[in-house]
Structure 1
Amino acid sequence: MKKRILFIINPIAGVKRKDAIPAHIAACLNHDLYEHQIVYTERRGHATEIAEQAVRDGIDVVVVAGGDGSVNEVACALIGSDTVLGILPFGSGNGLARHLGYPM
């Protein structure tokens, strides 16, 4: 059975362009092992709503592309679940990702 990954992209986080993310995901993801979906946030709090629904839907991994605010929204929604959190640091500061040693 394929693992299900949901990518939540905050299109207004930071200054980096995010329009190439879907193509990078499609090129890099092993489609024999994973199925994925991409959702863009539309307003403050939307990432939380999307992540909460992902938990209810049994999504295996939620990857958030955004800044610390987006990561916080998603992480809070995943607390107490078995859903794994992934971070693509696309914010202006990316404090958490820097603290965790993520490459920038």
Structure 2
Amino acid sequence: MSKKYKYYYRPEYGSDKLLIEFFEGVGDDSFFKDLLEAIADIQPVVKHIEDIRVIDDMALTIETDYGEFLYSKDIWNMAIIMSESNQRLIDAIEEHLSVSPYFEREAWVNA
């Protein structure tokens, strides 16, 4: 079985901080449910939803046992997970995704 969703674990633009960028499968109806299931061990809870209607983007603040992260999804069906000050949390999320049957990490090539 091939994995449904693909992501990069890459640096933020102009930074050495890492983020997770989903680029395949984000438009699937089950994507967000599968994402939360993959990281269920760190107890994710949606705390705030910001719907940016002008450009049809969505941003969620999600609280976990490790702290808070931002999940944003855009109209091009790409999504990003990032944290301003908690790289440990992003590392933990990536560890969970790496063992999920749904997610596959692709190598990041900085063009």
> Same fold by TM-score, threshold 0.5 exceeded?
no
Q: Give the structure with the larger helix fraction.
A: 1
Q: Give the structure with the larger strand fraction.
A: 2
TM-score normalised by structure 2 residue count:
0.28
